[in-house]
Chains A and B, each alone.
Chain A
Amino acid sequence: MILVRAIKMAGYHVFSSKEYMSRVRGGLNSTEIRISSKRVAAYVDRIDILLAINEGAIGHLGRRITKNTQIIGDEDQLKSVTGEYNVLKIPVLKSAEELGGIIFANVIAAGVISCMLNIPPEVFDQIIRGMFARKGEKIVEKDLQAGRKGYQLGEELMGSKDFKFEIEKDPSVKDELLLSGTEAVGLGCLAGHCKFMASYPMTPSTPLQIFIAENGKDFDVIFEQAEDEIAAINMSIGAFYAGARAMIATSGSGFALMEEAVGLSGMTETPVVIYVGQRPGPAVGLPTRTAQEDLNLTLYSGPGEFARVIFAPGNFKDAFELSHRAFNLADKYQIPVFILSDQYFAECNYNHPSLDLSNLVVEEHIVSTTKDYRRYELTHDGISPRGIPGYGDGLVAIDADEHDEEGHITEDLEIRARMVDKRYTKKMKLIKKDIIPPELIGSDDYEILAVGWGSTYGTIKEALNHLGWEEISFLHFKQVYPLHPDTVNYLDTADKTVIFENNASAQFANLIRVETGFEIDEKILKYNGMPFSVEEVTETLKSIRGL
């Protein structure tokens, strides 16, 4: 993060994404950092410079390393790298040990690259101070030394070989935000008036839990680490019942434990916002990798039938706005609303213009109850005004059993049918007026339509930019359920359709078929735990066009 921040502060556009093993420490891990004169928000395979801290890095990154990759690292670590590779040896680890331990290797490495990018050392030092201030002056001083060592090594390197970085700076970047996908969601949740979160730690949703916990005091949010996921969601539903907007954050298996309570939200018409950071399953799967495998899980979660909404943000602006919107919608329709993210999206960083709060309204949907208040009063549109206990003169009774208008248990089958109409049919009809349409990127007059949802946004968009073909456009869904009625028109217009999904069964393509009858021609599926790269999407589209 030091380097990413330094790059941004120096006025370059920056994107970073990390992949790592599920270990407390160690293993083979890498961070990709892209430095650009234009906005970047996508993962690429190509590696121009590889700073290899340990020996395994070369094998780990495999074919992503070519003879055009400049490998930099310690002599000891690069012994096995021979022949066609382009290697420069500098003592990163050795210098770190001299400074007091290999823990300093990262800062030294960041200093090397920072120097090569001609980032003023003052900028770098300032970032070190900011990031390590909490750890005390001694540690700050050590890390400043590490940074300077990195700069020294970087200068030697530049002297030994003629490097040319021709990346134009964009001074406006300095004033932009540097966010992660998690922070974009978290800020949206705070803006959406989230006042309660109970959760159980699980990668990759834990960073959002930390974000809320850290900001709890300043924003009046209660965060509680629940004893299990089941408790977490039932607590959050209880909090929403009592008048505080509430959410939970989890991942696949954790969410599987919550499913019963999704039905509780549906049945009792108590809102709840559910953030699912997807990772490859089933069961424990690959904890630190990425996937889009849990659309079906969220779409069909909970017994019985009731209305729901599922968002899948593809960029930080959407993540912020949809998270805010999730709370308004949950409150308005008294339903569970999902925010589907994934490891890749949650943990990537890039610079972003400011987030605009001016148009964000926190809608007020709670009513003060009167003496004759009935929680499930049958209304023409299916929405019963929602009261909360202790606010007004009425009583608020909710029930997981089938219930009457007062909220009391019933086995009256006529009421049962009317309650289903209310919870499912009527609400879905209303919700369909509020669907966010898919975003068409490119010309209206396309022959090939690439389709994506959620986190593949940046990658597919960049691939299309590279290709620069008029006849291909990209349709991105940030709301994946319910589907916008224009969906089928967009698809019908194309001669050929292709969808990219990080799963093995084309879950979104199947949903489109079920909802519209439209069968997408080509399904490009990746499920090894890594995100699509810009190159992969580019090559796939080329081959689809017969090139």
Chain B
Amino acid sequence: MDVKDFNMDDADVAWCPGCGDFFILETLKETLAELEIKPDNLVLVSGIGQAGKLPHYIKCNVFNSLHGRSLPPAVAIKAVNPELTVIDISGDGCMYGEGGNHLIHNIRRNPDITNIVHNNMVYGLTKGQASPTSRTEFKTNLQVEGVFLEPFNPISVAIALKASFVARAYCRDTEETKNILKKAIKHKGYALVDIFQPCVTFNKVNTYQWFKENTYYLEDSHDPYNIEQAFKRSMETDKFPLGIFYMNPDKRTFEENLEVYLEDKTPVYKRRVDMDKLERLIASKR
């Protein structure tokens, strides 16, 4: 397959010129093409924010849901039709703020979906307020004296919950990001990929230059199956490590655990109600 298979030629892209989201869009298209995932078998589910618009710029099935609420429909879509590839696209405000509870519990649920979070450490769509991942002392129109809340660390939280796949990428490193995304999408189970992505309009601190200087890649010797090591590395914030922190491939997925799929793999949406069985259930109420 070719990247062009995913192009939406007439899309009116709403992002600012130079936005980090453009890199994620192109990298994701390349990833999908290389993985041979067909547009009609792919569902991108998103929330609200600049990241939430991404599915409109890729040719595929789209569920652009409410702010913070992309995971619940994503997990349900996968449960009802496990034959689909389901990717959740969200941002740091949407996923880590508004949708935080769903993040925690879907890590526990472990649906076989990929959760991509664009992390630019600021609210773009609402014009420049702090996000859960904004660094301390970051000044905004609402945090006028600067942020004093402890920044949310999605990588540590996910590892603490024994998420089945936890990674961080930086959008400008397109090849490395593509490699991480490929592994995440192929991984059986819930995969979190937090992608650093500069907001060129509202974040004058965490710029392309800043991300370049403040990130580095985990060494090849890093053992992603060692949860203690993974957690320790996730706590580093002087310079942020990039790459796959942790993998827990033995976990059963949500779909595998569902009673309806224990004996029969036919997607639930294809099944019809057995009226004879219902007749018997009614008769049992005598």
Contact = CB atoms under 8 A, between A and B. Distances in A.
Interface of A: 175-179, 183, 187, 190-191, 193, 195-196, 198, 215-222, 224, 226-228, 230-232, 234-239, 241-244, 246, 260-261, 264, 268, 354-355, 357, 362, 388-390, 392-401, 407-409
A143 B260 CA distance: 35
Q: Is the interface of B mostly helix, strand, loop or mixed?
A: helix
A4 B273 CA distance: 31
6 contacts: A220-B268, A230-B102, A231-B101, A242-B76, A357-B279, A389-B61
Contact of B72 (A177, A238, A409): A238
Given A235-B72, A235-B75, A220 B271 contact: yes
Contact of A222 (B48, B72, B80): B80
A177 B14 CA distance: 60
Nearest to B266: A220
Given A220-B268, A238-B72, A390-B40, A227 B285 contact: no
Contact of B81 (A237, A242, A261, A408): A242
A242 B39 CA distance: 15
A395 B76 contact: no
Interface stretch (B28-36, B62-70, B189-197): B62-70
Given A230-B69, A407-B62, A408-B11, A242 B286 contact: no
A187 B286 contact: no
B72 A244 contact: no
A382 B75 CA distance: 30
Contacts of B233: none
B97 interface: no
Contacts of B39: 395
Interface stretch (B52-60, B170-178, B209-217): B52-60
B260 A234 contact: no
A187 B40 contact: no
A216 B66 contact: no
Given A260-B66, A400-B66, A408-B56, A239 B76 contact: yes
B180 interface: no
Contacts of B104: 227
Contacts of B80: 195-196, 222, 238-239, 242-244
Contacts of B268: 195-196, 220-222, 244
A390 B38 CA distance: 10
B79 interface: yes
Nearest to B261: A222
B184 interface: no
B21 to A, nearest CB: 14
Interface in B105-129: 105
Given A234-B76, A242-B269, 12 more contacts: A195-B268, A219-B273, A222-B260, A228-B101, A230-B101, A231-B69, A235-B76, A237-B73, A238-B65, A242-B84, A389-B41, A408-B62
Given A191-B278, A244-B268, A175 B286 contact: yes
B149 to A, nearest CB: 23
Nearest to A179: B285
B64 A234 contact: no
